[in-house]
Amino acid sequence: MTSLLHLDSSADCSGGSLSRELTALFAATWRERHEGGEYRYRDLVADPVPPLDSAYCALGRRVERHGSVPPERVAALAEGVAERAAWELTRPLIAELRAAGTVVIGAPMYNFTVAASLKAWIDRVTFPGAFEGAGLLNGKRVVVISTRGGGYGPGTPQEANDFVTPYLRGYFGRLGVTGDDLRFVCAELTLAELAPHLASLRPAAARSREAARVETTALAAL
C-alpha cells in the first residue's frame, strides 16, 4: 500500500519546531521515493481533533454492547444529532489511518509525554471496533519523530522519564505494529541552543539533530 499519513502535533507553528522540520523532511523524501503515492497531511494543532465528549462515549458504549461492529456499521447505531456529529468527526480519522501504508508522526515531548493534540487524535481514532481483527494495523509502518529539550536516551539520568516512547510503542504494538514496522527517531537537547546554562551541550545537541536528519531520510527512503 503506497500511501503516507503525515501527522504533526508540535504546538509551535511559527517555523521553529524541529519535529515539524523532521516530519517535513520525511514526507518530502518519501514523496520523491514513491512518486504517485497517496499523501495525506493532518496538522493536529492548526486543525485540532476535538477531545472526547459524552456523545462519543454514549455511541461507543452502544457499539460495545453490539459486540464487534466495523466502522461502516457504526452510523446506523448513532442516536441523535450529537452522536451523529461525534461519529462524523471520528470516521474520517479512522479511515485515514486504516488507509495509510506508512504513518509519520511528529511527537515532541511535553512534560515527559506526548502533546495533548496527539493524545486527542489517539483517543478519537481508537473507537470501539475500529481496530479489531482484520482492522488491526498489521503490515503498516509507523515512524515516530520525537524531539526533547533534554537528554532521555538509554543510560541517562532522565531515561525513566521518557513516557513518549514506551507509550507509543505500547499503543501501536497493541494495534499490531511491532518490530521494524515501528521506528523511533529522537532528536535530543533541543533547549541547549536557547538556554545559557546548557551551552556546553550544544555540540551534542547538534550531533543529535544531524543524526536524526540522517535517520529520518533513511527511513523515508525505504
Annotation: binding site for FMN: 10, 17-19, 109-112, 147-150
Binding residues: 10, 17-19, 109-112, 147-150
Pairing of strands 102-106, 141-147: parallel
The Cα–Cα gap between 203 and 215 comes to 18
The Cα–Cα gap between 140 and 133 comes to 15
**Contacts with 99 (C-beta within 8 Å, 6 or more apart), sequence order:** 1, 3, 5, 38
Sheet holding 38-43, edge to edge: 38-43, 3-8, 102-106, 141-147, 182-187
